[in-house]
Structure 1
Amino acid sequence: MTIILERPGAMQTAIIPSDEEALDVARRLAREFEADAPNRDRERRLPRAEVEVFSQSGLWGISVPREFGGADVSVRTIADVFESISAADPSLGQIPQNHFATLERLRYDGTPAQQEFFFSRALAGERFGNATAEPGDRLPSGHETRIRRKDRGFVLSGHKVYSTGALFAHWIPVAARDDEGLPVTAFVPRHARGVEVIDDWSGFGQRTTASGQVRLTGVELDALQIVPRGWHARIDTANAVSQLAHAAIDLGIGRAALDDTKRFLRELSHPARGSAATHATDDPFTLRDIGALTIDHHAAQALTARAATLIDSARGDASREAVAAAIVATAEAKVLTTNFALTAANKLFELAGTQSTLEAHNLDRHWRNARTHTLHDSVRWKYHAVGQYALNDLLCDPFTYAHPYSPVAG
């Protein structure tokens, strides 16, 4: 049974109690979001109302640990939710990705007081955005965004780009360095003095994610809002959860492209000239390609599910070997979901024919979304990471490559 939590001045927020209900709610919302998704993309109409409905549904709180009142659903369920929403509207799928990544990181880095406060905010329907990347694609160790001690508190200043979710957020987690140069995450209220969120995202895909800039000038903070990153000095699965959400977004994009290809072939496409087929669905080469795409889809789903299962097993105080296996499995899933999304989005036009390129259908959004979102991190390096693990039993960070190789055992 869904519990309703009230947040002053806001809509009532549901608390979803189980994996099964989370999946049911995601499928229902996906049907609602899908109807107007092509128009939102065409007009670059930001999904403010949809984001509100999405977060108030309770789905943004499903990963909160049980000891803090959440359902603590499996990573497999999180991935399935992201795939469902992204198949309907991948911009809506991407907007909460950093929210889930933040909640996952709090499991490892937050103090009990910080966990209690921020997990309760998530259950109350408050959204966490993102302000991580900096101009020039600097690694975290080189970030110029800094937190300085001032009187009894702290002051934050810096400049961020690709800040997906920040425009719609209640809190913006900001990657920064402290006075000693150590990495921290600062939880900044969206409308705090000195915070400017600039909606200047002009990418040709994922057009309504509002992934623009955040400028921070003398933002005042207290200690509760500052979370040291990676202070426990051991590898964990937080980044793997974040990356698996990205894989699920690509999986949803590819699934939507494949579904539209089949629909177009059944309803509008003509058979290829010289094929002797009476209908586009009878063309033997079309059947071959649809078969190949279906196999690719199922393979990508299977590797995503496998990675999720390994992450679930490796959460908490698991062995280094278990965590390493989960990290590398996530890299493998990201390779297949990337390739599937790009291939399905490209094959759509080849198989569906000239009519599929008409602006009225706006089917190019699938390719634009796939091409844009899969640029998030470098898949060619994931092959490298998997190879090092498989051949040399060495683990590298397959997400940033900022850390040296290290033996898996130990």
Structure 2
Amino acid sequence: MPHNPADAPYPLSVANAHVIRTDAEAIDVAHKVAAFLLEGDAERDRLRQVPAEVVDVFSNSGLWGITVPAEFGGAQVSYATLAEVITIISAADASLGQIPQNHYCLLEDIRLQGNDEQKAWFFDLALKGNRFANAISETGGKTVQDIQTRFVEDGEQVVINGRKGYCTGSLYAHWLGVLALDGADKAHLAFVPRATPGLTVVDDWSSIGQRNTASGTVLLKDLRVAQFNVFKTYRSYEHPTLAGPFAQITTAAIDAGIARAALRDTLSFVREHARPWIDSGLDKASDDPLTIIQIGKLSIQLDASEALLERAGKVMDSVREAPGEDGVARASVAVAKAKVLTTEIALEASTRLFELGGTRSSLAHHNHDRHWRNARVHTLHDPVRWKYHVVGNWLLNGVNPPRHDWS
């Protein structure tokens, strides 16, 4: 990173979004946006660039506002529908599928902890097409929950100082949700307009995968924010809420989308370009029985992961109005099961593409490696090995899953 990082430039147009009214409309719009995004996916990944008009088409479609509660003018789609929307978009462009993931989580924070005036103000912004990004995680602590960013109250404002990493979507955002601790080490979330003095977005995300998520650094220096923009997010985990399962199901849906993309390109490449193995005695790779078996296995695994993802959404929907300890535990376990399979199929499908497509499938101009790179990077979000532990411990010992964004 530069010694004196400058605020990263990115053109932000005035938000002007369509308002989606129903779950069915959300799915329909998602398919239309996905068709548009798929056209330039490989090239955008290759260049590490997303034109501003592409992001605008995505957010102005109305998909970024579909979780706004009905009482505030939104569609309030089901959790199952939200997961499917994210999967559809991520299958077209996994980076762009990820950038509203934290946006949705931030809207959930507003739903859980905002007062009516705050909800009306910020939900209206979301419905108009404003994009929210996170400045939550930090890279230097012992664990992901080790937060050093602090704020102090100063009249009608708070003053924030700190350094954030993995700030997905920050480059493209109209607003950033900044997590900071008060003097009692309680976590608060402050919503900050992108151009606020003291807030610097550094476009330094250099990962091998999810290249265009703009998950770089955000610097906070004497950043002043109105008290009205501050939410007591720590309360979301002091009693049972769906904040954790919500964060996890949106993440799992991205992995499902990556798997869909990898299988889609595998089918196309095997049909059109792959050569049969010399010992098969066949004229087409698509007639090779060993290849056919692998394709069938991948399809079954993908269907199973998506079925668990949909089921997890339905479990969450069933307890939404009155979560409770048991309801949140069941939702967390259901999402954990889906997360295991979406992680595994994303990695498996993106690897098998090369095995079944042959050496020519690895040529740079195809850019098929983006699927494996995306899967490998995004599935590192939280260790799936702990999902097995969560499920097993709940079943065997009756231990409820922990309550945080990674469970």
- Fold shared, TM-score > 0.5 on shorter chain: yes
Matches within 5 A, 1:102-141: 102-139=106-143
Which residue in the other structure is 2:154 paired with?
Answer: 150
Which residue in the other structure is 1:243 paired with?
Answer: 248
Cα drift, residue 190 of structure 1: 1.0
Q: Deviations over 1:177-198 (max 9, x none)?
A: 0122111111111110000000
| Matches of 1:355 and 1:313, distance apart in 2 | 48
Cα drift, residue 137 of structure 1: 4.4
Equivalent pair of 2:156/2:227 in contact (CA under 8 Å): no
| Matches of 2:395 and 2:267, distance apart in 1 | 37
Equivalent pair of 2:240/2:324 in contact (CA under 8 Å): no
Give the residue type in structure 2 aligned to 1:213: T
Of 193, 206, 209, the residue aligned with 1:205 is 209
Matches within 5 A, 1:34-183: 34-139=38-143, 142-183=146-187
Answer with 252-261 or 174-183: which moved more.
174-183
Of 14, 17, 37, the residue aligned with 2:18 is 14
Q: State the SS of the aligned residue for 2:274.
A: coil
| Matches of 1:356 and 1:162, distance apart in 2 | 31
Q: State the SS of the aligned residue for 2:21.
A: coil
Which residue in the other structure is 1:354 paired with?
Answer: 359
Q: Which has the higher contact order (CA 8 A, sep 6+)?
A: 2
Equivalent pair of 2:242/2:323 in contact (CA under 8 Å): no
Q: Do structure 1's residue 259 and structure 2's residue 251 form an aligned pair?
A: no
Q: State the SS of the aligned residue for 2:178.
A: strand
Cα drift, residue 279 of structure 1: 1.0
Q: Deviations over 1:57-97 (max 9, x none)?
A: 11100100001110101111111110111000000000000
Which residue in the other structure is 1:295 paired with?
Answer: 300
Answer with 231-240 or 392-401: which moved more.
392-401
Equivalent pair of 1:164/1:212 in contact (CA under 8 Å): yes
Of 29, 35, 41, the residue aligned with 2:33 is 29
Structure 1 segments, 4+ long, off by >6 Å, are none
Identical positions, percent: 47
Matches within 5 A, 1:256-335: 256-335=261-340
Answer with 9-18 or 123-132: which moved more.
9-18
Q: State the SS of the aligned residue for 1:214.
A: strand
| Matches of 1:24 and 1:152, distance apart in 2 | 44
Cα drift, residue 240 of structure 1: 1.1
Which structure 2 segments of 5+ residues have no match? 1-11
Give the residue type in structure 1 aligned to 2:338: A
| Matches of 1:283 and 1:392, distance apart in 2 | 47
Cα drift, residue 9 of structure 1: 7.1
Equivalent pair of 1:46/1:210 in contact (CA under 8 Å): no
Q: Deviations over 1:237-273 (max 9, x none)?
A: 1221121111111101011100111111111111012
Equivalent pair of 2:186/2:234 in contact (CA under 8 Å): no
Cα drift, residue 138 of structure 1: 4.8
Which residue in the other structure is 2:3 paired with?
Answer: none
Equivalent pair of 1:240/1:326 in contact (CA under 8 Å): yes
Give the residue type in structure 2 aligned to 1:14: H
Give the residue type in structure 2 aligned to 1:45: Q
Equivalent pair of 1:47/1:92 in contact (CA under 8 Å): no
Give the 3 Å change call, closer, same or farther, for CA 251–398 of structure 1 in structure 2. Answer: farther
Query: When the two structures are aligned, how many residues end up with a matched partner?
Result: 395
Answer with 128-137 or 24-33: which moved more.
128-137
Equivalent pair of 1:206/1:372 in contact (CA under 8 Å): yes
Give the 3 Å change call, closer, same or farther, for CA 198–339 of structure 1 in structure 2. Answer: same
Cα drift, residue 47 of structure 1: 4.1
| Matches of 1:177 and 1:230, distance apart in 2 | 9
Give the residue type in structure 2 aligned to 1:336: L
Cα drift, residue 217 of structure 1: 0.5
Q: Deviations over 1:388-410 (max 9, x none)?
A: 111111113276679xxxxxxxx
Give the 3 Å change call, closer, same or farther, for CA 30–350 of structure 1 in structure 2. Answer: same
Q: Deviations over 1:350-391 (max 9, x none)?
A: 001111011111111111111011111110111111111111
Of 192, 196, 212, the residue aligned with 1:192 is 196
Give the residue type in structure 2 aligned to 1:363: H
Which residue in the other structure is 1:341 paired with?
Answer: 346
Give the 3 Å change call, closer, same or farther, for CA 247–317 of structure 1 in structure 2. Answer: same
Which residue in the other structure is 1:391 paired with?
Answer: 396
Give the residue type in structure 2 aligned to 1:155: V
